Structure 1
Amino acid sequence: MNTDEAHWSFGHAASILLPYTLRGTLLSFLYLILPAILRAGGTSLPMTSLSTLVFLPVGLSWLWAPLMDRTAGRGRRTWIVGALLVASAVFAALSWLDPVADYALVLTVALMVAAAAATIGTATDAAIIDGVAVRHRGWANALQAAGVALGGLAIGAVGIVYGAHGWAATSIVMATAALASAGFVAVAPLATGINVNAPVLRPAAGTSLLRDRRVRHMLLIVILSRAALHLPMGIIAAFQIDAGLSVASAALIGGTGGAAAGLIGAVLGGAIATKLPPKRAIIATLAAVATASLMLAASIALQGATPGIAVILALYVFLLTTPVFVAMHRQFMLLARIGRHASDMSVLTGSEFLSGIMIAATAGWIVQSAGYPTLFVLAGLSAFGGMMLVGRSLDEGS
C-alpha cells in the first residue's frame, strides 16, 4: 500500500489505544496505588520512593525484545495476551501479602507486573513502526499517551475499591481485570497498523545502534528529560498523603484527574508532533515542563504541602508528561532500524525508563534532605538542560 493511500480506521486506532490502556493500568497501579498505600501505612519517604525500583523490568525489556522481532501481526498479540495472563497471576498472589509488612516480597513479586507492562509496550511500539506511516506517527504516539491516561482513569476506580475493601480485594479486582483483558485481546478484531512504509533517518542494518551520533545524543536528552519528569513522579503519591489526602482520594485525583489531564496532553502532543519537526516539538514540551516545575517550587515554598497543590501536582505531571512522551517516542521510532524495531525501541524506551527509575528512587532522599521546593527546582533545571542539549545536538529535521 502506498503511503498516500494510508487511512485510519477504528481497528487501527484500537490496536494502539487498547494495549496502551492496559499497560497504563498496570503501571498506574505501581506508581499511584502502591506508593500511596506504603506511605499511608507509615513507610518512610525514602523507602516509599525506592519502591519505583519495581519498574526495573521496563528498563530491561531489551533482554527479551529480540524475540518479538521474530513475530508480527497476530504473533505480537500473543505476547500481549501472555503478559496479561502473567499479570493476572501475580495480582492473585499479591492478594495474600501485606504491602507494608511484606514490603520487600511485595516489590519483588510486583516486578512481574512491570515486566508484563513492558512487554505490552514493546510489542505495540514495534507494531506501530511496522504498520503506521511516518506522517501518522505523531497521532499514533498521541494514542499511546491517551491509552496510558485512560489506564490512570481505571486506577481511580481501583482506589475506591481499596478505600472500601482493602488490599486483598483490590488485588483480586486487578487480577480479574487482567484476566478478562487477556481474553478480550485474544479475540478482538484489531488491525496491526496502517501500512508498511519505507522508514527514514535510520542507521544501516547490521551496525550498532549506539554508533549513530543521534542515538547517543538522544540518550543524554532522555536522561535530562527523565530527571525533569521522574523527580516529581517519584514523590507524587507520598506528597498527596503528606498533604492530608487518603489513599482513595489520592488514587482518584492521580487516576481520574490525571487521566483527564493526560488526555488533554495527548491531544496537545499529537498536535505539536504534527505541526512541528521533532527537534522543535521536544524543545517546546521541555520548556513547558521547566516553567511548570519552577512555578510549583515557588508555590510549595510559600504554602507548603497543601491539598490544593497536591491536586495541581497530579494534573501537572500527567498534563506535561504526555506531550513529552509523544515528542520523544516520535523521535525514537525514526531511529529504530529495519528488522529490529522491537529490539531498538526496547533499548531506547528502556533507557528512558531505567534512567527515570533511578532518578525517581532518589526523590525521597532529596525531599528529606532539602525539601520539596528543591526537588522541583532540580526538575526545572533538568528540563532547561535538556532543551539546550536538543538545540545543540539534534538536526532540525530529526
Structure 2
Amino acid sequence: MIELRLALQYLPLGCFYGFLYTALPVLLRAGGAESAAVGLLGLLALPTGIAFLWAPLVDRGARAPAAAAARHRRWMIVTQVLAAAALALVAAIDPTAAAGLDRRVYLTVLVLLFVISILFATKEVAANALLREMAADAPGLMARANGLRAAALFLGTWIGSGVLTTWYDDIGWRDAFLITAVLGILMLPAMIGLGARDGRGRGRADAEAAGGAESLDGAFAALGHMLRHAGGRRRMAGLSIVAVPLALPVAMFPVFLADAGLTMARIGLVLGGGGTIASLAAAWAGGWLAGRLGAARVLVALVVLQVAALAAWTGFALAAARGLVIDGGALAALGVLQLSVYAGFTVVLNILAMERARPAHAGTDIAVLRGSFYLTATAAHMAGGWIADPLGWLAYFGLTTLVFALVLPLLRLADPAAIRPPSARPADPAAAD
C-alpha cells in the first residue's frame, strides 16, 4: 500500500517533536534552566516554515517524473539517516546530567536539535514532492496519503509526548533519543522503490531525461514563482487567512481549561489521550472525505464546524465570566473536538497546496504555500499569548469567532479556488496564474 509506506515516514518526525515539546521543557526546567533558555526550543519549529528557502535544491534534477521521484526518494533516505546519526549524538550529550544545567552543553544540544529539525523539514519537502509526482498516475492517492500522513504524524507525536515521556524515569535521556533514532531507521525499508514506475514508464522517463537536468539558477527561479504571479499570491493569502483564526484557539484553549478548573491530569487526557485518538481519526477521515468530495468542500465544512466550536468556547467563557459552574466533561469534549477540527484542517490545507503546485517544482511550491501557513500560524500563536490576558477569555474567543465567521467571504475574495470544487478549476495548476 503506497500511501501507508509514505505515511510511515512521518512517525519519527512526530516522535521527535512530541518528545521535544512535551518532555524537554520540563527536563530543562528541572535542571535549572531559565524560562528564556527553555523558550529557545521554539526556534526548532522554524525550519518547517522556512524550508522553501532550500526546497529548490531538493527539486533540482532530471525533469522526467520517474527520475524526479528517484531523486526525491534519495533525499528522504539521506536526510533520515543523517537525522538518526544526529539523534545518536544528542543521546550521548545530556545537558541535564549534572547538578545544574551546563549552558555550553545545552547550546551544543540545541544546535544539534536545530540541525535535526532542518533535516526533517527537508525530508518533508522531498516526501511532499514525491507524493505529488505519484498522484499524477493515481487519482485519489493524494487525499488518501495525506490523511494517513497526518494520522502517522499524530501517532508519532503520541509516542514522543506520551510513551517516551511517561517512561522517561525508566529509560532516561540516552534511550529516549536512541529510540527516536531507531524508529527512523526502521522506516527506511518502506522507502525502497517508493514512487518507482513500471518498465515502460521508466523507459519513457529516461528518454525525457536525456535533455538534461535543470540548472541551479532555474531551480531557484522557481522560488519566486508564487510571489511573481497573482495566482500564487492569492494561494498564499488564502492559507494565511485560515491560519490566523485557526491558531488563536489552539494556542490558548489549554490555558482556558486550566483557568476553568480542570486538573492537569484531566487536561493531559484531553491533549494526549482523547485528543490524540480523535486527531488520528479526524486526519484519516479528512483525507478519505477529501478523496470522495474534494478538498474544497471539506474545507468549507471544517470552517463551519470551527465557527460552531468557537461559539461554544465563547459560551463557556461567558458562563465563567458570570461565575457559573462549568461542566468539566463538556469542556474536555470541546477540547477534543477542537483538536479534531485542527487535524482535519492540516490534512485539507496540505492537499490544497499539493493540488495547486506545479508538478515540475512540486517540492518548492508546496514548501512556499505551507510556509506561508505555518509562519502566519506561528505568529498568531505567539500573539494569542500576548492578547488573551488583556482581552479576557470572553472577548478573546468572541472576537476569534467573528474573525473565523469571515473566513469564507475572505477566501472568496482572496483565493476563490480554495473553496471551488475541482471540476470548476483550471485543469492546469499554473493556469490560475
Equivalent residue, structure 2, for 1:302: 319
Q: Which residue of 1 aligns with 2:96?
A: 96
Aligned to 2:206: none
User: 2:154 touches 2:276 (CA, 8 Å); kept in 1?
Assistant: yes
Pair 1:383-2:404 in alignment: yes
1:135 alignment partner in structure 2? 140
| Alignment match of 2:121 (pick from 107, 112, 118) | 118
Match runs of 1:1-398 below 5 Å = 9=1, 12-34=2-24, 52-69=42-59, 70=61, 71-90=71-90, 92-93=92-93, 95-96=95-96, 105=107, 110-132=113-135, 133-154=138-159, 155-162=161-168, 164=169, 171-188=173-190, 190-193=192-195, 208-235=225-252, 238=255, 243=261, 245-246=263-264, 250-303=267-320, 308=329, 311-312=332-333, 314-392=335-413, 393-395=415-417, 396=420, 397=422, 398=425
| SS of equivalent to 1:274 | helix
Q: Secondary structure at the match of 2:296?
A: helix
After superposition, what is the alpha-carbon deviation per residue over 1:76-117, rounded to whole angstroms, capped at 9, x for unaligned?
22223323433443465455379x978995866643453343
1: CA distance between counterparts of 2:143 and 2:393? 34
> How far did 1:175 drift?
0.8
Whole-angstrom distance in 1 between the partners of 2:80 and 2:5: 11
Partner residue in 2 for 1:199? none
The alpha-carbon distance between structure 1 residues 368 and 121, as it changes in their structure 2 partners (threshold 3 A), is: same
Q: Between Structure 1 and Structure 2, whose CA radius of gyration is higher?
A: 2
> Which is worse superposed, 24-33 or 343-352?
24-33
State the alpha-carbon separation in 2 of the partners of residues 233 and 88 from structure 1: 33
Cα displacement string for residues 212-248 of structure 1 (whole angstroms, at most 9, x for unaligned residues): 43332222222232223322333355556665544x7
Taking a change above 3 Å as real, the CA distance of residues 394 and 180 of structure 1, as seen in their structure-2 partners, is same
Deviations 1:116-166 (A, max 9, x none): 43233222111111212343211111111111221232121123124x46x
Over aligned residues, Cα RMSD in angstroms?
A: 3.9
The answer (yes or no) to whether the contact 1:156–1:254 under 8 Å persists in 2 is no
For the structure 1 residues 341 and 51, does the alpha-carbon distance in structure 2 shift closer, same or farther, using more than 3 Å as the test? same
Q: C-alpha separation between the residues in 2 aligned to 1:48 and 1:376? A: 28
Work out the CA distance in 2 between the residues paired with 1:46 and 1:59.
Answer: 22
C-alpha spacing 1:177/1:59, structure 2 compared with 1 (3 Å)? same
CA drift at 1:308: 4.3
Q: CA deviation at 1:295?
A: 0.9
* Secondary structure of 2:96 counterpart: coil
CA pair 28-124 structure 1, distance change in 2 beyond 3 A: same
Q: Which amino acid aligns with 1:81?
A: V
Distance in structure 2 (CA, Å) of the matches to 1:194 and 1:254: 39
Quote the Cα distance in structure 2 between the aligned partners of 1:35 and 1:86.
20
Contact preservation (8 Å) 1:24, 1:150? yes
Whichever residue aligns with residue 54 of structure 2, its letter is W
Report if the CA contact (8 A) 1:125-1:342 is conserved: yes
- TM-score, normalised to structure 2's length? 0.73
Q: Deviations over 1:243-288 (max 9, x none)?
A: 5544x76555423322211122123212331233333222221221
Q: Would the alpha carbon gap of residues 372 and 21 (structure 1) be closer, same or farther in structure 2, given more than 3 Å must change?
A: farther
SS of the aligned residue for 1:192 comes to coil
Compared CA separation, residues 346 and 312, structure 1 to 2 (3 A): same
What does the per-residue CA deviation read over 1:300-355, in whole Å, with 9 as the maximum and x for residues that have no partner?
34248986466345423430112212221111112222322222221111222111
CA distance in 2, matches of 1:241, 1:38: 23
Paired residues of 2:309 and 2:334 also in contact (CA < 8 A): no
Structure 2 residues without counterparts, runs of 5 or longer: 62-70, 202-218, 426-433
| Identity within the alignment, % | 25
Q: CA deviation at 1:44?
A: 11
Give the Cα–Cα distance (whole angstroms) in 1 for the partners of residues 116 and 330 of structure 2: 30
Structure 1 residues 346 and 32, CA gap change in structure 2 (3 angstroms): same
Deviations 1:9-35 (A, max 9, x none): 2xx133222112222222333444456
Instruction: Tell me: CA distance 1:187–1:274, structure 2 relative to 1, closer, same or farther (3 Å).
Output: closer
* Aligned counterparts of 1:384 and 1:60: Cα–Cα separation in 2: 29
Distance in 2, matches of 1:355 and 1:376, equals: 19
User: AA paired with 2:416?
Assistant: L
The one-letter code sitting in structure 2 at the alignment partner of 1:288 is L
Amino acid at match of 2:16: L
User: Which structure is richer in relative contact order (CA contacts within 8 A, separation 6 or more)?
Assistant: 1
- Cα distance in structure 2, aligned partners of 1:42 and 1:300: 36
Give the TM-score normalised by structure 1.
0.79
